[in-house]
């Protein structure tokens, strides 16, 4: 292509960029007007069901090269910028910086949000409860390791609402300053990460070196970069954050390793048409209580997608997910009938059927 032809294309891109900037600023002006109205009515700024409806509509209109994932990536960032220009709010996540929970938070709230790293799940619930953070991001389950006990315990104890879920593919790297794998004498990581990478460690003879469990995979990278003959099993982001060279990518045993996260806050979502509801149930101590409960859900045509038993303070409870919103016509009567045993944790846009 000639220099003149290349310049013409670049000029065309500049013109399009100018138009995009103008349109985005116009959108921000409209968002401000909406924000003023919501401030008077007490409405929430973050509405996951509304964002989903926008992306669904844009996907239907789309006739270009963008797929849904690309549309989501673009517009979720625009939504996040809109919220933060209107009303900056803190997002508390299970830290440190670069953790998988931090990645899940950024996937939903974008790069501009004010993030607060918290050392424990209990601490995140406390930050949201006291209003120091508007949102909290906590892990609820992993496809390999199951339900996160601390999150269930906190959902049982506190009255925070689940307003969204985020499902993240979990990939681990082996990172080290060592040039050769045989020079590695110790490996830092979280205990769960060691379990998820057991085959890799065995295959490379690393199951015989000292495996040191610590509270986070990102902290593992911070330690390994300082200590000779050490390594970390950590996320790609964590290794890059601490300038720790990556020796192997995607070392997890299962290629479908996923973690599901909840976003908690102090409000409830409206119906989106594609919702999921999470509840905790403590059944009365009488014969047939569980059967009667399940029969009522089945009779109402409600699809239960997850039933997990759990012990909280010595009592057996069930964590249950089902398709639908708590305000759906077929759901409300069932919840009302069992209101003495059900704690509704929240209804939110369904991201995935199960993990």
Query: How is 239-260 classified by DSSP, letter by letter?
Result: HHHTTPPEEES---S-TT-EEE
134-153 burial: b if 16+ Cβ within 10 Å, else e: bbbbbbbbbbbeebbebbbb
Q: Quote the pLDDT of residue 23.
A: 95
Whether pLDDT at 289 is above 90: no
pLDDT level of residue 313 (50, 70, 90 thresholds): confident
pLDDT level of residue 281 (50, 70, 90 thresholds): very high
Whether pLDDT at 39 is above 70: no
Closest CA relative to residue 170, chosen from 149, 154, 189, 155:
189
pLDDT tens for residues 135-160? 999 999 999 889 999 999 999 999 99
pLDDT level of residue 288 (50, 70, 90 thresholds): confident
Cα angle value 171/100/147 (rounded, 5°): 90
- The dihedral built from the CA positions of residue 58, 53, 267 and 97, taken in this order, carries a sign that is negative
CB-based contact 251:170 (threshold 8 Å): no
Whether pLDDT at 12 is above 90: yes
CB-based contact 37:81 (threshold 8 Å): no
Whether pLDDT at 286 is above 80: no
Give residues with Cβ within 8 angstroms of 86, minimum separation 6: 31, 32, 35, 45
Share of the chain above pLDDT 70, in %: 97
- By mean pLDDT, which of 188-197, 271-280, 297-306, 310-319 is the weakest? 310-319
- Stretch 312-335: mean pLDDT: 92
Give the predicted TM-score (pTM) of the model.
Answer: 0.84
Paired tokens of 317: 């409870």
Q: What is the DSSP string of 164-221?
A: EEEEEE---EEEES-SSGGG--EEEE-HHHHHHTHHHHHHTTGGGSEEEE-S-HHHHH
The Cα-based distances of 220 to 97, 141, 232, 241 in angstroms read: 12, 22, 5, 12
Best mean pLDDT range from 34-48, 66-80, 197-211: 197-211
DSSP at 305: E
Q: How confident is the prediction for the chain on average, in pLDDT?
A: 91
Whether pLDDT at 190 is above 90: yes
- By mean pLDDT, which of 28-37, 70-79, 112-121, 219-228 is the weakest? 28-37
- Stretch 86-104: mean pLDDT: 88
Q: Quote the pLDDT of residue 130.
A: 95
pLDDT level of residue 95 (50, 70, 90 thresholds): confident
**Domains of the chain from N-terminus onward:** 9-86 (1.20.59.10), 89-170+257-267 (3.40.190.10), 173-248 (3.40.190.10), 271-355 (3.30.70.260)
Neighbours of 104 (CB within 10 A): 24
CB-based contact 169:107 (threshold 8 Å): no
Q: β-strands 246-248, 186-189: how paired?
A: unpaired
pLDDT tens for residues 193-234? 999 999 999 999 999 999 999 989 999 999 999 999 999 999
Whether pLDDT at 265 is above 80: yes
The Cα-based distances of 109 to 80, 89, 149, 196, 247 in angstroms read: 5, 10, 25, 28, 31
Q: Quote the pLDDT of residue 40.
A: 54
CB-based contact 152:319 (threshold 8 Å): yes
Whether pLDDT at 36 is above 80: no
3-class SS of residue 323: strand
Whether pLDDT at 287 is above 90: no
CB-based contact 187:206 (threshold 8 Å): yes
Distance between CA 108 and CA 135 in Å, rounded? 11
Give residues with Cβ within 8 angstroms of 225, minimum separation 6: 177, 242, 243, 244
Q: Quote the pLDDT of residue 120.
A: 94
Q: Quote the pLDDT of residue 188.
A: 98
Whether pLDDT at 181 is above 80: yes
């Amino acid at each position: 292509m000639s220099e003149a032809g290349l310049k013409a294309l670049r000029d065309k891109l500049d013109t399009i960029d100018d138009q995009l900037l103008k349109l985005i600023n116009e959108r921000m002006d409209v968002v401000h007007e909406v924000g003023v109205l919501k401030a008077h009515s007490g409405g929430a700024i973050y509405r996951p069901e509304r964002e989903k409806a926008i992306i669904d509509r844009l996907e239907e209109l789309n006739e270009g090269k963008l797929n849904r994932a690309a549309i989501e990536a673009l517009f979720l960032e625009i939504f996040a910028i809109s919220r933060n220009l209107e009303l900056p709010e803190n997002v508390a996540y299970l830290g440190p910086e670069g953790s998988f929970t931090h990645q899940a938070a950024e996937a939903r709230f974008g790069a501009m949000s004010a993030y607060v790293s918290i050392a424990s799940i209990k601490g995140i619930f406390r930050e949201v409860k006291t209003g120091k953070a508007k949102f909290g991001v906590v892990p609820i389950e992993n496809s390999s390791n199951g339900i996160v006990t601390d999150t269930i315990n906190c959902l049982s104890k506190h009255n925070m609402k689940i307003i969204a879920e985020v499902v993240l593919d979990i990939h681990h790297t082996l990172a080290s300053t060592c040039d050769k794998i045989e020079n590695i004498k110790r490996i830092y990581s979280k205990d769960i990460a060691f379990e998820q990478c057991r085959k890799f460690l065995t295959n490379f003879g690393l199951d015989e070196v000292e495996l040191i469990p610590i509270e986070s995979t990102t902290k593992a990278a911070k330690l390994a970069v300082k200590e000779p003959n050490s390594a970390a099993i950590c996320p790609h982001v964590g290794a890059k954050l601490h300038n720790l060279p990556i020796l192997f990518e995607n070392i997890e045993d299962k290629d479908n390793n996923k973690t599901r996260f909840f976003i908690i806050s102090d409000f409830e979502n409206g119906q989106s048409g594609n919702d999921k509801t999470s509840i905790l149930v403590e059944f009365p101590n009488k014969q047939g209580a569980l059967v009667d409960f399940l029969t009522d859900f089945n009779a109402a045509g409600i699809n239960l997608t997850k039933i997990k038993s759990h012990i909280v303070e010595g009592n057996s409870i069930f964590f249950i997910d089902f398709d639908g919103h708590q305000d759906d016509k077929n759901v409300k009567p069932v919840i009302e009938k069992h209101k003495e045993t059900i704690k509704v944790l929240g209804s939110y846009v369904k991201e995935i059927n199960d993990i």
